[in-house]
Amino acid sequence: MNIRVFRTPSDAGIYAASMLERVITSSERPVIGLATGETVIPVYDALVNFVRCGLNVSHVTTINLDEYVGLAPDHPQSYHQFMNQYLFSRIGVRMQSTHLPNGVAPDLVAECERYNEVIRNHPIDMQVLGIGVNGHIGFNEPAHTLITGTHVVNLTPETIAMNARFFSRKDDVPRQAITMGIQSILQAKQIMLLAFGEHKADIIYRALKDGIRTDVPASILQLHKDVTVILDRQSAARLGL
């Protein structure tokens, strides 16, 4: 694993966006796997700046990791809205080339199958990942068994509590999500894992330096041959670099 440690999330975001630019400019039909969460905001800000400085993204396909079950695409806390707000509406990507799971599909099993088909048809060149404080990637939560393909997941109490900050009423916090599975993530040609802040230092240590464990889903990234880990000094604090 290639580990890079930056002074600030915004410096790290520029580095991550440069990695994305390399993929975007070196392929006729680049496919980028995207994530949501506070961590990726500096990456999207930097990418938007690159686009304003001339980077063409009109040929890019994007595939997001996950969406909450029960939140329609126009719900303010949906991941559809997050992506529109922080990235899609700010750059010239064609909306029909952006993919997210539909959290209000009438048949969620069929929706997972549809999403697997989207991923099969668009092999991911570079997957962007954040990490939950419990080690989840996408919404692949700590468990005895990690699931390979797209699936509906019951969010853990810890994740629900973390997400509560975005909802005005506790009862509104979604209990389930649709997430891309572990095999789909590992099939990306390149992966970047980002984490910022002191509160991520412990899980970054466990994901990178301990063994591979299903109760730390991100640790499975140790098996991938092209992962870049992008950190700030706080999240890297336990690595002894």
Per the structure block, which two tokens stand in for 108?
Answer: 């969620």
Distance of CA 114 to the CA centre of its chain: 19
Which residues between 71 and 130 bind ligand GLP (CB under 6 A)? 130
Q: Are 86 and 41 in contact (CB under 8 A)?
A: yes
Contact flag: residue 198 with ligand GLP (CB under 6 A): no
Contact flag: residue 65 with ligand GLP (CB under 6 A): yes
86-108 as b/e: b if 16+ CB within 10 A:
bbbebbebeeebbbbbbbebeeb
Contact flag: residue 17 with ligand GLP (CB under 6 A): no
Per the structure block, which two tokens stand in for 211?
Answer: 């063994």
Q: Which of 66, 67, 125, 232 is catalytic?
A: 66
Q: Which of 111, 125, 141, 232 is catalytic?
A: 141
User: CA 11, 12, 17 angle in degrees (round to 5)?
Assistant: 100
Q: Annotated catalytic, 226?
A: no
Q: Annotated catalytic, 172?
A: no
Which residues between 156 and 185 bind ligand GLP (CB under 6 A)? 159
Kindly tell me which residue out of 25, 38, 161, 210 binds ligand GLP, with binding defined by CB under 6 A. Answer: 38
Q: Within 13 Å of residue 98, how many CA atoms lie on the same side as its CB?
A: 22
By CB under 6 A, the count of residues binding ligand GLP is 13
Look at the chain and count its residues. 241
Task: Identify which of residues 30 and 130 has a Cβ nearer to ligand GLP in the complex.
Answer: 130
Could you give the CA distance from residue 13 to residue 212 in angstroms, rounded to a whole number?
27
Task: Identify which of residues 38 and 172 has a Cβ nearer to ligand GLP in the complex.
Answer: 38
Task: Identify which of residues 97 and 197 has a Cβ nearer to ligand GLP in the complex.
Answer: 197
Contacts with ligand GLP, residue ranges (CB under 6 A) = 35-39, 65-66, 130-132, 138-139, 159
Any idea which residues carry the catalytic annotation? 66, 134, 136, 141
